[in-house]
Amino acid sequence: MNRPFPSTLAPVPPIAGRTLDAQLHLMDRQALDNDGVPVTTVDDLELSGPALETEIPEGTPAPILTALLTGPVLGTRIFGGRPPSSRLIRIPWKDVADVGVVIKLGVSGDSLDAGWVERWIRDKIIARIPGGRHDPR
Amino acid sequence: MILGDLLGTPVYDSDGGRLGRVADARFVVDGAPQQLMAEARLLGLVVSPHSVSSFLGYERTGVNQPWPLAQMLEWRHRGSFLVMWEDIAMIGEKSVRLREGFTAYSPALDGAGQE
At B115 the pLDDT is 65
For chain A, what is the mean pLDDT?
90
Percent of chain B with pLDDT over 70: 96
Domain residue limits, chain A: 22-47+63-128
Q: Which residue of A has its CA nearest to B53?
A: A23
At B111 the pLDDT is 60
DSSP secondary structure letter of residue B69? H
Say yes or no to pLDDT of A26 above 90. yes
At B56 the pLDDT is 76
* Inter-chain CB proximity B91 and A50 less than 8 Å: yes
Say yes or no to pLDDT of B10 above 90. yes
Structural domains in chain B, sorted by start: 3-98 (2.30.30.240)
Contacts of B5 in chain A (CB under 8 A): 82
Q: Which of A10, A53, A62 sits opposite B92 (nearest CB)?
A: A53
The residue among A93 and A49 whose pLDDT is bigger is A93
Three-state DSSP state, B41? strand
Contacts of A3 in chain B (CB under 8 A): 49, 78-79
What is the DSSP annotation of chain A? ----S-SSPBPPPP-SSEEEEIIIIITT-EEE-TTS-EEEE--EEEES---TTEE--TTPPPPBEEEEEESS-HHHHHHSS---GGGSEEEEGGGEEEESSSEEESS-GGG-GGGHHHHHHHHHTGGGSTTTTS---
Say yes or no to pLDDT of A98 above 90. yes
At A1 the pLDDT is 40
Say yes or no to pLDDT of A63 above 50. yes
- The fold adopted by the segment(s) A22-47+63-128 is SH3 type barrels. (2.30.30)
Buried b / exposed e along A44-54 (16+ C-beta atoms within 10 A): bbbbbbbeeee
Contacts of B90 in chain A (CB under 8 A): 53-56
ipTM of this predicted structure: 0.88
Percent of chain A with pLDDT over 70: 95
* Lowest mean pLDDT segment, chosen from A66-75, B27-36, B84-93: B27-36
B60 backbone dihedrals φ, ψ, rounded to 5°: -110, -25
Which pLDDT band, with edges at 50, 70 and 90, does B62 fall under? confident
Rounded Cα gap, residues A90 and A28, in angstroms: 15
* Inter-chain CB proximity A21 and B57 less than 8 Å: yes
The residue among B111 and B56 whose pLDDT is bigger is B56
Report the Cα–Cα distance between both ends of chain B, in Å, rounded.
Answer: 25
Rounded Cα gap, residues B1 and A48, in angstroms: 7
Say yes or no to pLDDT of B85 above 60. yes
* Inter-chain CB proximity A24 and B113 less than 8 Å: yes
Contacts of B28 in chain A (CB under 8 A): 15-20
